[in-house]
Amino acid sequence: MTKAIAYLKKLRDEQEKLGDAGVRVTMTNILGHALAHGLHKIRRNIGRICFGFFRHDKSIGTSCLVDVGNGKDLVPVTIWDAHKISILEFA
């Protein structure tokens, strides 16, 4: 966890240097992106059972709840193939 906090600080410092205040990377973004990479590594086990046979999924979706309206509501968001995008795009 200490390395993740250091990585988060590094990302935020880079954003400040670039003047990019539109996206704020959080620990939830880092964990969601790491989860997407982990699911990609074990993708042979991801799929569904149809008519008694296991079928592999072609794409992997990662879902997380996103705060909308300053804590008034949470909306589930699914990002497909998140292992292919950067952490800033994920955020």
Both structure tokens of 61: 């979706």
- At residue 62, φ and ψ (nearest 5 deg) are -115, 125
Going from N- to C-terminal start, the domains of the chain cover 2-90
Mean pLDDT, 10 residues at a time, the chain of 91 residues: 84 76 79 89 85 88 83 86 86 79
Task: Give the CATH number of domain 2-90.
Answer: 3.30.559.10
- Show Cβ contacts of residue 82 under 8 Å, excluding neighbours closer than 6 positions: 32, 33, 36, 60, 61, 62, 90
Q: What sign for the dihedral angle of Cα 73, 20, 30, 8? A: negative
**What does the pLDDT read at residue 21?**
65
**What does the pLDDT read at residue 20?**
66
